[in-house]
Amino acid sequence: MQTRAPLLVGRDAELVELTRALSGARAGRGGSANLVGEAGIGKSRLAAMIAGRAFDTGMRVLRGRGSAIGPMVPFRPLAEALLSLFRGGESFADSELGPYRPALGRLIPEWGGDAPASPASLVVLAEAVLRLLAVAGRDRGCLLVLEDLHDADAETLAVVEYLTDNLEFQPIMLLATIRSEPGAALDLARAGEQRRTSRLLELRRLDRTQVRAMAASCLEIPAPDVVDDVVQRLWADSAGNPFVVEELLHGMVNSGLLVPSEEGWQVVGALRTEVPAAVARSIANRTDRLGPQGRMVLSVAAVLGHRFPLSVVREVADIDDRGLLSHLHAGVAAQLVTPDEPAPDWYAFRHPLTAEALLSQLTPLDRAELSSKAADAVLELHPELPGHWCQLVASLRLDAGEDAAAGRLFAEAGRRALRDGAAGSAITLLDKANRLLTRRLDAGIRADILESLLPALAEAGHFDRAFQLAGKLADLDGDGLDARRRAALHTRLAKVAYLAGRSADGAEQVAAARALLGPLPSDEDTARVDVVAAYVEMDMPRPDRLIRAEELALRAVAAAERSEQPVVACEAWELLGIITREHDISRAVECLERARQLGEQHQLPLQRAYAVMRLAGIDWLSTSDTLSLERAREEALRIGAITMAYNADAILALHTVLGGDFSLAAERIDACAESATRLQLGSMVRYTLMAKATLAGHQGRRREMDDALAEFRQWGGEKSQEMPLSVGLARVFCALLEENRPLALRELAEALAFETATPTTFHLAGRHGLDLLLGVLDRRYDWSHYREVADTPAGRMRWNLQFTELAAAVLHGRDGDSAQACDAMASAQQAGAAFPLARHLGLRLVAESAHADRWGDPVAWLRRAEEYFHHNTITGAASACRALLRQVGVSVQQRRVGAEQVPTALRSLGVTVREYDVFRLLVDRLGNKAIATRLHISPRTVEKHVASLIAKTQQPDREALSTYASAILAP
């Protein structure tokens, strides 16, 4: 007889579906499946069968499982699975994983050396795992098996959810086993089924026929030969649970109720088994045969959990190595325990029900005593309680009834989890500590817990829960807690409010902290409060927010440096650099250089990288040179700062748009947007969508621009700092290229009004350049306004400089100073050399004024601009240049290129390029005069084109023609 059925019974449909999924993964069409069912239903056995098939076909197979040792251990299933990649000496080149290699240091210790001081987000880690699995499975496919996902931590589930949503085009199959008990893992599986990103395969209990087949497989006889009474008893008492079927059958054989004979297996006496007592009795009988000391060893092991370390069992059971191994070997032979890889000195029970059955045999007093001894043994072996040991001892102290000690340990484990970036586990542990540590304990302990719990909740996005804890701060106020500690807690809550975008709540908490600190706070306290207050002030909706934030940041810098708080000082110096950039570039550089030096001096790689990135941004704004920005990006990649690297990518994408390389810009924007969207980096998504709208606007493609801006609004763009850029760089330019100057002026006024109400740290939206030029051209601005704008650092940024110099040229020409006007024009052309579209648009805008005031060479400028716009199929601006040339008496060659832009349906009717220009404007139902103004032709010509279009399209009248145009040109 075999104690485990050699054949898989009752799972044919699941096998077919999972085998098909394996084939899909090998072909690059990955997916996810969750095996769900009660304990003992056969999830692990089915997963093992699929893993065997995957291995037989040459796929890479990785396995990990959730841990039931006390509290959850962050990332254990993933770490176990990924570590198996390297036991055979497998290596991966840096180029294969790029910046994601440092992020994987949280799971693969060998790769953690260069990780940033602050942990990467869970989304970045999930993306890193996805890429590693894709590399591991290239050319042959990869199967990732995660067992007992119901015992996994919140961080592991977050990574699994991300993988599930992004496997479709990867050579990866994810297979998880989950108990059908209420919990986060089961919710995750059901959500994936609803989104159709994964399959939920719920394993049902076996029916009577399948129970017979399973018993026959164990007894190694044909199914019809199994005694009917045995089948009836197995089916009734097991309720179709395969594990219980096996245990019951094993108990029948060992107790002599079912014996082999020449006629086959025969029942001796009456079958008297019960479920689940029968299973517990079976396990008890098998442990009894190990003797008192063997039973003690397994009881100690059960107290430690489903998995257990031999070193602790040996200490608690007071047994030597030889005796311990002897009992373990006996337990293995009895199908109770098994070696648990990858750790050589760890074992595990073959099934969680085994440990539960053993614990049920202990009295509460015995269990508490063993738990206390086990906790003492762990402390003796690992005094510092590194890694998961702290959580294990906390759980043991709780089982021993030592609530106060357990609470302190859970609090420490929670703080460690937060430092490791496992916010979900930190919240679970700190909450448990909160419940255990009652008000009778020292208020300082509860303050410690809150001080860790607040940032943990913020990191996990549980802002409402964090603010619910504000009441806890009020409780502590009456418990004699030191005022500085209470102020520190209010400061923490203010930082949470800033991260949540609740500036008013943040200001309220800052005020509470200041009140507690009194009129003469220490430098240490001042620095911590002021730097948070400065960031909160940045988000306050008032015109003087930048001024007030700068004052706070300056005070924080001074206090932080006096009290030797380098991290706070770096944050304050960086904020000062951002704020002062608009009115004093050299001062901004000094601030950021100071932050960079502090980062280097105190070995703060993340803070240093942020300062370097800000410095590179200033260099780009000043010169349009991207070399320092690309170097900063490389440094961010080297330390694994993914978000920072994507920030550089987004700026480089916008630079490519402004530089006129539209095809490369589209590629860069799409690549950056895809990654930012996948990682849910909201501000980065908004920036790339703004760049995408700018790309369309600079090509005169209004529909594409509007589509990008609609998506921009869906990501909260209407109230973001990127909003003025989306108007000034996209909508305004599109209107100017359409020769719709009034619309451009209205759009620009909207952007500037937003900036006035909510000052921004972006400076390219038009206030310091394009608005000045347009205002000078229509005589709204004179030299006084010019000096207000041109003398600012923002006005000297290279993008803005081309427009301020053009404005100066117009003003000089208007004053009759042709030489100065030409010099300013030359400076504008030099500044605009990096921005070809803006440069040629400037030529077109200034040419009319230059011709009227008789300076420069407006004819040559218009010819150059017309050639550029024509080559880039920007028909409105090209037509305007040709019309202006005709107005000054210059003959212009008729352009017929552009017929390819006319839709096939219209070309087949004989519609010309010029008629198509009119046809497009009929969508907005403009009159002849408005169309003529837009196209720089006469109303009479428009009338002729409309009449021709009515005849060619066979429409009854102009109104019908406009409706027809709307239908033809609908996106």
pLDDT score at 181: 76
pLDDT score at 762: 81
- Are 257 and 293 in the same domain? no
- Are 131 and 212 in the same domain? no
Query: Quick check: is 548 in a domain?
Result: no
Contact 547, 583 (CB under 8 A): no
Query: Quick check: is 520 in a domain?
Result: no
Which bin fits 911, alpha (ψ -120 to 50), beta or left (φ > 0)?
beta
pLDDT score at 1: 61
CATH code at position 146? 3.40.50.300
| Cα 115 from Cα 96, distance rounded (Å) | 17
Q: Within a 10 A sphere around the Cβ of 491, how many other Cβ atoms?
A: 27
- Are 788 and 816 in the same domain? yes
Q: Is 711 exposed, middle or buried (0-12, 13-18, 19+ CB in 10 A)?
A: middle
3-state secondary structure of 173: strand
pLDDT score at 896: 56
Q: Name residues whose C-beta falls within 8 Å of residue 526's C-beta, 6 or more positions apart in sequence.
A: 517, 555, 556, 559
Task: Give pLDDT tens digits for 325-360.
Answer: 888 888 887 768 888 765 668 888 876 667 777 888
The mean pLDDT of 920-932, rounded to a whole number, is 88
pLDDT score at 831: 95
| Cα 403 from Cα 392, distance rounded (Å) | 14
Contact 432, 412 (CB under 8 A): no
Contact 637, 602 (CB under 8 A): no
Task: Give pLDDT tens digits for 264-323.
Answer: 888 887 766 443 465 676 677 778 878 888 889 999 998 988 888 898 999 898 888 888
Domain that holds residue 238: 208-275
Max alpha carbon distance in the chain (Å)? 123
CATH code at position 301? 1.10.10.10
- Are 838 and 754 in the same domain? yes
Query: Quick check: is 303 in a domain?
Result: yes
Task: Give pLDDT tens digits for 503-535.
Answer: 788 888 899 889 888 888 898 888 989 998 998
Which bin fits 818, alpha (ψ -120 to 50), beta or left (φ > 0)?
alpha
pLDDT score at 238: 73
- Are 183 and 227 in the same domain? no
Task: Give pLDDT tens digits for 183-218.
Answer: 889 999 999 999 999 999 999 889 999 999 999 988
pLDDT score at 106: 80
pLDDT score at 509: 87
- Are 23 and 102 in the same domain? yes
Boundary-marking domain end, from 323, 346, 362: 362
Confidence band of 708 (pLDDT split at 50, 70, 90):
very high
Contact 435, 472 (CB under 8 A): no
- Are 732 and 872 in the same domain? yes
Confidence band of 947 (pLDDT split at 50, 70, 90):
very high
Query: Quick check: is 283 in a domain?
Result: no
H helix count then E strand count, the chain: 50, 10
What DSSP line would sit under 769-822, residue for residue? THHHHHHHHTTS--HHHHHHHHTSTGGGSHHHHHHHHHHHHHHHHHTT-HHHHH
pLDDT score at 275: 38
Query: Quick check: is 817 in a domain?
Result: yes
* Phi, psi (deg, nearest 5) at residue 916: -65, -35
The residue behind tokens 């050589």 is: 344
Task: Give pLDDT tens digits for 161-177.
Answer: 999 999 988 999 999 99
Which helix (H) or strand (E) segment holds residue 428: the answer is: helix 423-436
Q: Which of 59-68, 539-548, 859-868, 930-939 has the highest mean pLDDT?
A: 859-868
- Are 732 and 855 in the same domain? yes
Query: Quick check: is 432 in a domain?
Result: no
Boundary-marking domain end, from 202, 233, 264: 202
Which tokens in the block code for residue 56?
Answer: 């037989």
Please report, rounded to a whole number, the percentage of residues in the chain having pLDDT higher than 90. Answer: 37
| Cα 685 from Cα 676, distance rounded (Å) | 6
**What is the domain count for the chain?**
5
Q: Which sign does the torsion angle of CA 157, 163, 164, 166 carry?
A: positive
pLDDT score at 666: 93
- Are 257 and 317 in the same domain? no
| Cα 136 from Cα 172, distance rounded (Å) | 9
Instruction: Indicate the pTM of the whole model.
Output: 0.67
Query: Quick check: is 215 in a domain?
Result: yes
Residue 88: is its pLDDT beyond 70? no
Boundary-marking domain end, from 180, 202, 224: 202
Residue 835 DSSP code: -
| Cα 636 from Cα 752, distance rounded (Å) | 33
3-state secondary structure of 142: strand
Residue of 155, 224, 122 whose CA lies nearest to 678: 122
Residue 781: is its pLDDT beyond 80? yes
Query: Quick check: is 56 in a domain?
Result: yes
- Are 219 and 328 in the same domain? no
Residue of 87, 79, 132 whose CA lies nearest to 107: 79
- Are 795 and 745 in the same domain? yes
| Amino acid letter for position 71 | P
- Are 65 and 189 in the same domain? yes
